Amino acid sequence: MAKKQFKTESKKLLDMMINSIYTHKEIFLRELISNASDAIDKLYFRSLTDGSVEVARDSYEIRLIADKQARTLEVRDNGCGMTREELEQNLGTIAKSGSLDFKKGEAADEPAEKVDIIGQFGVGFYSAFMVSDHITVTSRAFGSDEAWKWESSGVDGYTVEKAEREGFGTSVLLHLRPDAEEENYSEFLEDYRLKGLIRKYSDYIRYPIRMTVERSRRKEGSSDDAPEYEQYFEDETLNRMIPIWKRDRSEVTDEEYANFYKEKYHDYEDPLRVIRQKAEGVYEYTALMFIPANAPYNYYTRDYEKGLQLYSSGVMIMDKCAELLPDYFSFVKGLVDSADLSLNISRETLQQTHQLKAIAKAVEKKIASELADMLASDREKYRIFFKAFGTQLKYGLYADYGMHRDVLKDLVLFESSASEEPTTLKEYVSRMREDQKKIYFAAGESRSQAELLPQAEAVVKKGCEVLYLTEEVDEFALMMLHEYEGKEFSNVSTDELDLGTEEEKETVKKENENNKDMLSFIKDAIGEGVSDVRFTNTLSGHPVSIATEGALSATMEKTLERMPGTENAGVKAEKVLQINMEHPVAEKLKSLYGEDKEKLAKYSKVLYAAARLISGLGVEDPSGLGELITGLMLD
Ligand code: ADP
């Protein structure tokens, strides 16, 4: 019979599996058991909602059959089974497109053995090739009288042919690879090893995982002096079958939670935090949630689907219930189990249920309080969390006109002049100088760029802390927040810094008035780029800088310009050229105004370009500037 080829992506993946770079080959069993359990779930769910499906709840089982002679391990279930088409579709291809590209890109700089491709892609079935050189899947779909057999030895393809099978369900028969120097595959035929693996990874599976085990007992009638023993076989259920979220919190180890999380939610790292919630009262439910340590590769794209799994008394009724999570907590994985939910709940009715809304509200509160606790008790961990998902929280601050500020304002971190460690707003306020009225921030593409802004330096010199906003969303988030504990935010690059004494302010004012004509001349020489030119004393040692006025800052202007579709919207920040009145350049300008206006015009342009560079804005016309400078050199 002609072999069918795997789809190209599947082929690559199989190749990786076979030459496995994964160190924990044992997880293949958890993947197969999980598939079997899902298949039973599907049928059980149908039996609950469709009267024509009559299968007794207690007849469901998953069975392990190890045959040492044949060197095979079989995982057999009596779940929904697969039709011929389903066999081909599900096992002949891996639908999750894009995952392999990701693999190539991401793994390049990671040591190979660290990458758990299985976990990353949720390609459970294929992991069986790590331990087998030949796999036979025999399946009969519920309600069908035909069985089909799928067989493959790996990359060279697979065959599907008609087969016999008593009853519905699926058998996955693995022919184990020969033992090699460093790899012992025979151990997967040993009772103790299989039992251990089930306990470790699949204890919570809701259907019995059974195995026939050999035992010995004293022969009846044998004498006490010369006891005789006989072997006999007995069925043993290997798992405790209590969903992990139904077990007592104190009874479940961290490792068990981590294993559950990794298997269910396809992650390769332990979660940063496990969140358990048991709600009693009007709505009763149990929630088990996890905060991942890493953002999934597609997290900040439109492909990412948020949601918690929804269970009704242990039966999963929806895989990703988006209504249960607000966008800003979309990174949370986990489930909610409530006996009060109807099995027939559909997406449309779901949106309307009060109950779900109430649960969502409580879940949100719980997540927020757990994050707050992590922030207070384990800063190191929180930093890891924030690195992965902080941007999402900041978007949350900004979203919906700042509606969620109360939930989020104490969970966000910003870079700050106070320390290398990012800070919360609360911490900033607690460190504020007594006479300080505002929360200062400086925006730049990096911390060092923001630090070097003349105005930022000046504020720091005055003994005030400055937040360095380095992410595009930062400034938008603060703008939406408007104030924190009654303190307004102040962009150090916007005009009024209000740092000096009344006397100092008066001097600056006078200096501007006395040189009004000259400043206006400079403004005209520069042209459209600036809305005003002013003397100031808040630039530390720097000669010039750009400040902005009005609602839009220079960095926000840059962000908006980069947004697709807004290139020509013409949103511009109003820029003011600030000249340090204490810098020698001020004197130079004044004397030129009296002696050589033509030169002053050229110098003005150069100063403006320098100010843009200092403020991280870049020059608008580099070649024009080049000519101007060389021209001045030749003067
Ligand atoms: P995943 O479980 O992540 O979807 P797998 O490669 O493990 O990926 O399985 C692919 C699909 O094959 C499953 O989604 C399921 O539809 C089907 N499948 C696997 N094992 C079984 C089984 N024992 N019974 C019925 N269907 C199965």
Nearest CA to ligand 1 atom 3: 122
Q: Tell me, what amino acid is at 586?
A: A
Residue to probe by mutation, ligand 1, list 35, 42, 44, 62, most atoms within 8 Å of CB:
35
pLDDT at 484: 96
The residue with tokens 């929360």 is 439
Give 260-265 contacts, CB < 8 A, sequence gap 24+: 260/204, 261/290, 261/333, 262/119, 263/27, 263/30, 263/31, 263/34, 263/201, 264/34, 264/333, 265/290, 265/292, 265/333, 265/334
Q: What pLDDT shows up at residue 142?
A: 96
Q: What is the pLDDT of residues 361-395, one digit of tens each?
A: 999 999 999 999 999 999 999 999 999 999 999 99
Chain mean position to CA 271:
11
pLDDT confidence of residue 554: 74
Strand partners, 214: 233
Report residue 474: phi and psi, to 5°: -50, -55
Q: Tell me what pLDDT residue 1 has.
A: 67
Q: What is the pLDDT of residues 129-166, one digit of tens each?
A: 889 999 999 999 999 999 999 999 887 788 999 999 99
Maximum mean pLDDT: which of 20-34, 85-99, 444-458: 444-458
Instruction: Classify residue 476 by burial, with Cβ atoms within 10 Å: 0-12, 13-18, 19+.
Output: buried
- DSSP H or E stretch at residue 8: helix 8-18
Atom 9 of ligand 1, nearest CA residue:
125
Higher pLDDT, 397 or 5: 397
- The values of phi and psi at residue 72, to 5°, are -125, 150
pLDDT value of position 181: 83
- Which pLDDT score is estimated for 144? 95
The mean pLDDT value of the chain amounts to 86
Question: Ligand 1 mean position to 239 CA, how many Å?
Answer: 21
Give residues (CB < 6 A) around ligand 1: 31, 35-36, 39, 77, 79-82, 90, 122-126, 170
More confident residue, 29 or 498: 29
Strands 544-549 and 487-491: unpaired
- Ligand 1 atom nearest to 34, measured from its CA: 2
What confidence tier does 120 reach under pLDDT thresholds 50, 70, 90?
very low
What is the set of domains in the chain, with CATH numbers? 8-215 (3.30.565.10), 244-383 (3.30.230.80), 413-491 (3.40.50.11260), 502-634 (1.20.120.790)
Q: What's residue 560's pLDDT?
A: 74
Please tell me the distance from the alpha carbon of residue 483 to that of residue 163, in angstroms, as a whole number. 71
The kind and range of the H/E element at 629 are helix 622-634
Distance 35 CA to ligand 1 centre (A): 5
Percent of the chain with pLDDT over 70: 89
Residue of 549, 542, 521, 533 whose CA lies nearest to 615: 542
Pocket test for ligand 1, best of 14, 38, 89 (most atoms within 8 A of CB): 38
Q: How many helices (H) and strands (E) does the chain have?
A: 21, 22
Looking at the predicted structure, is the pLDDT value of residue 519 above 90? yes
Considering the chain, what percentage of its residues have pLDDT values greater than 90?
54
User: Reading across the β-sheet that carries 209-218, which strands appear in turn?
Assistant: 158-163, 147-152, 132-140, 169-176, 72-77, 62-67, 209-218, 229-237
- Compute, in angstroms, the gap from residue 90 CA to the centroid of ligand 1: 6
Q: Residue with the nearest Cα to atom 18 of ligand 1? A: 35
Q: What share of the chain is helix, strand, coil (3-state, %, to 5)?
A: 45, 20, 35
Tokens of residue 231, six digits: 């072997």
Q: What is the mean pLDDT of residues 320-343?
A: 90
Task: Check: CB of residue 423 under 8 Å from CB of residue 467.
Answer: yes
pLDDT, tens digit, 9 for 90 and up, residues 391-446: 999 999 988 888 999 999 999 999 999 999 999 999 999 999 998 999 999 998 89
Q: What is the pLDDT of residue 384?
A: 97
Following CA atoms 496, 497, 503, 506 in sequence, which dihedral angle do they give, to the nearest 10 degrees? -20
Q: What are phi and psi of 227, to 5 degrees?
A: -65, 140
- 596-629 pLDDT, tens digit per residue, is 999 999 999 999 999 988 877 888 889 999 999 9
> Pseudo-torsion of CA 106, 111, 113, 118, nearest 10°?
0
The rounded Å distance from CA 266 to ligand 1 centre is: 14
Q: Is pLDDT above 50 for 57?
A: yes
- Amino acid code (one letter) for 260: F
Nearest residue (CA) to ligand 1, atom 16: 90
Angle at 319 between CA 317 and CA 325, to 5 degrees: 110
Question: Which residue, among 284, 290, 291, has the nearest Cα to 337 in the 3D structure?
Answer: 284
